[in-house]
Amino acid sequence: MPRIAPSSLLALLVAPLLLSACGDDPPDAWSGYAEGDPVYVAAPVAGRLMELRVQRGDTIVAGAPLFSIDVELTRAARAEADARLAAARAEAADSTKGHRPDEIAVARAQLAQARSQSALADTELARQQQLIGQGFISASQLDDARTAAAAARQRVHELEASLRVSALPSRVDAQAAARANAEAASAALDQQRWLESQTRQTAPAAGLVNDTFYRVGEYVNAGQPVVSLLPPSQRKARFYVPEPALGSLRQGQAVRLSCDGCGAPIAARISYISPQPEYTPPVIYSNSQRSRLVFLVEARPDAADALRLHPGQPLEVRPDGAAPASASAASRS
């Protein structure tokens, strides 16, 4: 076996340590990954999926048509609400009017007839009063004539009051109730029109079509997502910071994101710092073990730079101003 010089042996022992030191990440760099919060687009009405205008992977603009639901059921409900509104408005208008002219003419004819009968009863009473003075009739017959004349006069008064009432509109409370019914019917119609408009859904924001969950012809329940979108504003970085470094971070602080193939670092700002550790070792905490606690932190880049992040992509995160990995490693090696 050849002998190895002491200097060569020392070099062999130190070389792995140097390589290990060169390969370590700087202490101010944290590992993480990109993540997206999809926007789920659903319709508030149930029905058969009639049209799907996008596919997974499409890039769309805000307001682009996404899908449409069968409109027949909502269209029928809207027609029913429209008819109910017309009926309620007609009732409200009718409550402000008196009886129809023909009905008033009938009441006037009945009044004229009652007046004639009253006049005839008065004439008969006068004749009976003359006859009783001559002793030709009994007192009971005179009483009958008085009663008939009084009844005829009361009938005239009744028909006169009825004629006055027929020219009056409904009472104030009845008119208010009719107007309220018309307003309720109008609101119901507006609701049905809105539901009918919701059978066609458009993109609330520009972005990537993350996924589609139904095919044309399938039945979709109300509120069930049909398309999920991933706008640039919903892309973010999630990374984990050891407990000793947590005190140096604050919400809104600038950080830089690095990833394979991303080119220049991506500027972002911390938007969330978890108040609870993501991992707790099953031992009693000590000064040597506190470094095992890591806290979830989220950072969001600008919308223009967010498109460079892809959900699931590994990231390396550093505070703004920290040296990049290559420069730090070169200085250590």
Reported pTM: 0.63
Report pLDDT digits (tens) over 17-41. Answer: 333 334 444 456 899 999 999 999 9
Q: How confident is the model at residue 287 (pLDDT cuts 50, 70, 90)?
A: low
**Percent of the chain at pLDDT above 70?**
83
E-state strands within the chain: 30-36, 39-42, 47-52, 59-60, 65-69, 200-202, 207-212, 219-220, 225-230, 235-242, 254-258, 266-279, 294-301, 314-319
Per-residue confidence band for 165, with pLDDT thresholds at 50, 70 and 90: confident
pLDDT in tens, 59-115: 999 999 999 999 888 888 888 888 988 988 888 887 887 777 877 788 888 888 888
The tens digit of pLDDT for each residue in 210-256 reads: 999 999 999 999 999 999 999 999 999 999 998 888 888 999 999 99
Which listed CATH number (1.20.1440.60, 2.40.50.100, 2.40.30.10, 3.40.190.10) goes with 39-71+199-230?
2.40.50.100
Contacts 24+ apart (CB under 8 A), 14-22: 18/333, 21/332, 21/333, 22/329, 22/332, 22/333
**Which is more confident, 124 or 328?**
124
Statement: 26-37+231-332 belongs to CATH 2.102.10.10: no
Q: How high does pLDDT run on average in the chain?
A: 82
Would you place residue 317 in the very low, low, confident or very high pLDDT band (cuts 50, 70, 90)?
very high
Q: What are 125's two structure tokens?
A: 């009473």
Top mean pLDDT of 164-168, 189-193, 268-272 is at 268-272
For residues 294 and 279, the answer to whether their CB atoms sit within 8 Å is yes
